[in-house]
Structure formats: structure tokens, C-alpha cells
Amino acid sequence: MNPCVAEPLPLEGFGRHPNAFKRVSAMTHNIGEMEKFFAELDGLLEAEIKARLAVGSWGDEKRSWAQLYLDEKASKRQRAAQSEMLEAARAAKTRSTIALVVAVVSAVLSLLAILFKV
């Protein structure tokens, strides 16, 4: 037996839990319920969702889903705003580069005019 070589781990029982299948099927079921709930939330205004959260219209699970829904909407708005700002910054950079080139060409032409006294 070589001490530098690790022994392979036995696969029997490795990473398995007796209730693993039940958990996976429960998570799949919850994802389906969450998608249905999100579809319901799509029909509401954000103010209505926030009001229902404040009143406590939903249980703990749906309350956390509603908060997740609102957070995701806010994140999407933020990404859209960042994209718009990036596009505006790129446009400003292009304009400033064009202005710099025009200024340099003007300066060179002015120097040439002074040198040759046109």
C-alpha cells in the first residue's frame, strides 16, 4: 500500500440520506407552487403586493415568495437602469473622443498656418 496514494471512498451510502427522494420531490412540488404564485403576483401591482405583505395576507412560505418576487423585480429594474447608464457612458466616450480628434486636428492646422504664414 502506497502512503502517497489515497484510497478510493466507498460509494455505498456516500452522500445519501434516507429522505433524499422525499426532499427532492417536495422541492419540485414547491417550485411548481411558487411558479403558480408568481403568475398570480404578475397580475398585481407592486403596491398591492406590498400592502398584502404588510397586512399578512399570506403564510410564511408565500410571504417569502412574495418578497423574493419583489426583490427580483427590483433587481431587473436595477439591471435595466445599469444597462442604460452604460450605453449613455459609451455614447459620451465616443463623443468626447471625436471632440478630442477635432481639437487635435485644429491645433495641428493652426500650427501649420503659423509656420507657413498662410
Dihedral, 69, 74, 80, 81 alpha carbons, nearest 10: 180
Domain ranges in the chain? 20-116
Looking up cell 419540485, which residue turns up? 28
Consecutive 10-residue runs of the chain (118 residues): their mean pLDDT?
52 47 52 90 94 92 93 94 95 97 95 87
Contact indicator for 49, 68 with CB cutoff of 8 Å = no
pLDDT of res. 32: 86
Q: Is 68 exposed, middle or buried (0-12, 13-18, 19+ CB in 10 A)?
A: middle
- E strand map for 1-118: none
pLDDT of res. 2: 53
Q: What is the pTM of this model?
A: 0.57
